[in-house]
């Protein structure tokens, strides 16, 4: 059992860390507060090949391992979590295409997505269906060589910049059980009847847009059905979300580590009663707990990623990692704010941004309460198998 990164993983981490330090951290506060889209950062990520980290080599990607994938999101999120969002949903779309797409679909779309010339996201959530994806109401009716799609999605990251969106639809609204009537359609920007609505204002998670998308008699060719077979969409989406929990856990570890770093620096500089507040036991206890919990979250995330790399079913591991890391992230952001005192409430300090970004990780890729039920079911099943 090895808890260390390989030399290749460590070198990759250092590359991403330097990119985040050089190109993201200096502008994060100003651009986040102004609502400025980080186009220059996106262009640099294209040059680095980060849009192709889950694309197989044969299609121009780098196909990194899941541990390295988690590291990308940790290091970027230490600087600005919103930038990680630009990569997150895009990479999940490429993962689904690489895993489930037909040979023709992979050849058609993956090369452009790998370079970032084309961008993607993932359109699952609806105004009336979030955690319960079987409750979606977007429908796709087959008409000759096309599907006619009607419905709406919401909270879609990259919606305004995506050239291609995997969209979860009902191709058979009467199917029982319901998941057998659900499919994923790859819908391209510019398709008649497909439109992007308003950007949704958010507490945090700035930098990337989250928007509504609408489908009104949107005609999509049958060859855009992911995998070429109806009724596989929910399975494909849930598999992507399972992998994506490593992404969310990595983001949470990154934000939590950034909170710890800022708290350590501030505690050593801030004077009270004639000495640094780092000398006070109350502060030391907070810092010790934060450091221990952040490292535990990191190792749990790597453990879950290693399970994915081993090709095992990993809903238990990824659920635990995402659950724990996101809860620790929220706790670390609050403790960092408390250590900063009044300054932690000021937009002049980064901890205010971290505090606003942290709650997203408890919601995204399955809410933590839903994940607790997933973990419990897997525990029951494992117990029954051992009995």
**Catalytic residue ranges:** 365
Report the interhelical angle of 281-309 vs 66-79 (nearest 10°): 150
Which residue matches tokens 């790859």? 186
Q: Is 273 left (phi over 0), alpha (psi -120 to 50) or beta?
A: left
> How crowded is the C-beta side of 128, counted as CA atoms within 13 Å?
7
User: How far does Cα 155 stand from its chain's mean position?
Assistant: 13
For 185-199, b/e burial (b = at least 16 CB within 10 A) is: bbbebebeebebeee
The encoded tokens of residue 204 equal 């945090």
Cβ contacts of 222 within 8 Å, gap of 6 or more = 142, 145, 146, 147
Helices 350-357 and 315-340: crossing angle in degrees, nearest 10, is 150
Residue with tokens 């990680």: 84
Q: Are 139 and 181 in contact (CB under 8 A)?
A: no
- Phi then psi for residue 225, to 5 deg, are -75, 120
């Amino acid at each position: 059992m090895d808890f260390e990164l390989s030399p290749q993983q460590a070198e990759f981490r250092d590359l991403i860390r330097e990119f985040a330090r050089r190109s993201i951290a200096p502008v994060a506060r100003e651009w986040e507060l102004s609502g400025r889209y980080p186009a220059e950062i996106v262009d640099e990520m294209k040059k680095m090949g980060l849009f192709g980290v889950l694309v197989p080599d044969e299609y121009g990607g780098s196909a990194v391992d899941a541990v390295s994938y988690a590291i990308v999101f940790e290091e970027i999120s230490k600087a600005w979590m919103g930038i990680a969002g630009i990569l997150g949903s895009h990479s999940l779309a490429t993962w689904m295409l690489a895993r489930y797409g037909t040979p023709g679909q992979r050849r058609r779309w993956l090369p452009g997505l790998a370079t970032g010339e084309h961008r993607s996201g993932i359109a699952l959530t609806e105004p009336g269906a979030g955690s319960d994806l079987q409750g979606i109401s977007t429908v796709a009716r087959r008409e000759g060589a096309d599907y006619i799609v009607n419905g709406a999605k919401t909270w879609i990251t990259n919606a305004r910049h995506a050239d291609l969106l995997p969209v979860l639809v009902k191709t058979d609204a009467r199917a029982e059980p319901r998941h057998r009537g659900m499919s994923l359609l790859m819908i391209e920007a510019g398709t008649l009847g497909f439109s992007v609505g308003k950007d949704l204002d958010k507490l945090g998670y700035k930098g990337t847009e989250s928007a509504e998308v609408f489908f009104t008699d949107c005609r999509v060719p049958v060859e855009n059905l992911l995998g070429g077979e109806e009724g596989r969409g929910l399975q494909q989406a849930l598999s992507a979300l399972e992998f994506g929990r490593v992404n969310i856990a990595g983001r949470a570890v990154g934000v939590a580590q950034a909170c710890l770093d800022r708290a350590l620096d501030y505690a050593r500089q801030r004077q009270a009663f004639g000495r640094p507040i780092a000398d006070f036991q109350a502060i030391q206890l907070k810092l010790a707990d934060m450091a221990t919990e952040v490292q535990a979250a990191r190792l749990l995330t790597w453990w879950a990623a290693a399970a994915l790399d081993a090709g095992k079913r990993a809903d238990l591991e990824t659920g635990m990692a995402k659950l724990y890391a996101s809860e620790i992230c929220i706790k670390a952001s609050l403790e960092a704010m408390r250590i900063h005192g009044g300054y932690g409430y000021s937009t002049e300090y980064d901890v205010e941004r971290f505090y606003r970004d942290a709650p997203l990780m408890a919601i995204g890729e399955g809410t933590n309460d839903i994940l607790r039920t997933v973990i419990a079911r897997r525990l029951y099943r494992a117990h029954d198998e051992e009995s």
